[in-house]
Structure 1
Amino acid sequence: METVVESLCCREVSAFWSLVEELTPRPADVTCLTQHPGFEACCLNPFVLKIAYTHFRQDRGPLQASTHEQYRYTAYRQAIRWAYGVLGRSIRKPLPSCVVSTIRQQFQNGDQTYQGFQWPCLDENE
């Protein structure tokens, strides 16, 4: 990842690693959140993401983006919600780099350029 805040391992973030530790029984070969059986179902399944995006669109309006960008954005939101629950409109948390990389690989941008994590703008005038 391009910045320090984006260079997290899922094992370094208790909210994400606890999802792996809660697996019962925990398979020995699950060494990363992206290997968790729920990760594909929650964050990579296009059918699930389409429903989640429809809910987002109902609350906030459509994203002016391609389908793959919509899926990526929604997958990131799904991963955050899975780990932290509902955070609120201006509260952002960086995702582990393994999660971001896997989502980007699944829903690639043609030119391979991505925006990356940004903290929210707290200035009401901007």
Structure 2
Amino acid sequence: RVSDYLWSVYELERAVEPIVNPMAYAFEPIRALRPLEVEEVIENPLVWGEERVGNNLWCKCGWCTPMPTVSICCQEADLGHVLRGHSCITMVRTFNILCREVDVLEVAMLSLKMSERKHWSVLLTAGNLFRLTAYRQFTLWARGHLGKKNRIPSPACAVSSIRAVFPSVEYHGFEYAYLYDL
């Protein structure tokens, strides 16, 4: 009886037509594009205009401080995916963990291999390395990996919050990679 059963299973399998040229990875998910691509942000910045420099009248979240260069609010920076209904990016728990916690930033420095680079030795005073790492953490979390020499201004509220934890005597402000490259 077992042999009869096996023979019937064999006959059923033979009746099924073999698949010719199967598609490899047919069930792999298709990568969704980000709502705002990096190139669009760089080509169409929302932040230019001397009317924004030195004041915070443009702020929509209530936490931005006047900046000497680029000024943008988290509410106009297309960060809805990380704001999660909060009025300001600095109120999001993830922001505070990723960008203001020394232990987290130390691990981020290891993953970015920042402490191994010779040109970082200049930045090792007064929290400069922590501040720079916090800016990078914010960009990675909020915008994703931008690639080498691609920079996007961070919201003034995020910059102010990071500077409050890691102060410096002198700040440089936002500069594009072609103007200033570390």
TM-score relative to the length of structure 1: 0.79
Structure 2 gaps of 5+ residues are 1-66
Map of 1:102 onto structure 2: 161
Q: Is the 8 A contact 1:34 1:102 kept in 2?
A: yes
Alignment partners' CA distance in 2, 1:103 and 1:50:
15
RMSD of aligned alpha carbons:
1.9
Q: For 2:140, give the aligned amino acid.
A: R
Shift in alpha-carbon separation, 1:17–1:2, aligned structure 2, 3 A: farther
Q: Which of these two proteins has the greater Rg computed from alpha carbons?
A: 2
Deviations along 1:5-52, whole A, 9 cap, x unmatched? Answer: x210000011x233113xxxx5xxx31000001111111110010011
CA offset at residue 60 of structure 1? 6.8
1:13 maps to 2:72: no
Q: For 1:19, give the aligned amino acid.
A: V
Q: For 1:89, give the aligned amino acid.
A: K
Alignment partners' CA distance in 2, 1:86 and 1:59:
20
Map of 1:36 onto structure 2: 92
Map of 1:76 onto structure 2: 135
Map of 2:68 onto structure 1: 2
Deviations along 1:48-101, whole A, 9 cap, x unmatched? Answer: 100111222269725121261010000000000001111111110000000000
Greater RCO, 1 or 2 (C-alpha within 8 Å, sep 6+): 1
Choose 60-69 or 70-79, whichever is displaced more.
Answer: 60-69
Q: Is the 8 A contact 1:17 1:33 kept in 2?
A: no
Map of 2:108 onto structure 1: 52
Query: Quick check: which one's helix share is greater?
Result: 1
Q: What is the aligned residue count? A: 110
Structure 1 gaps of 5+ residues are none
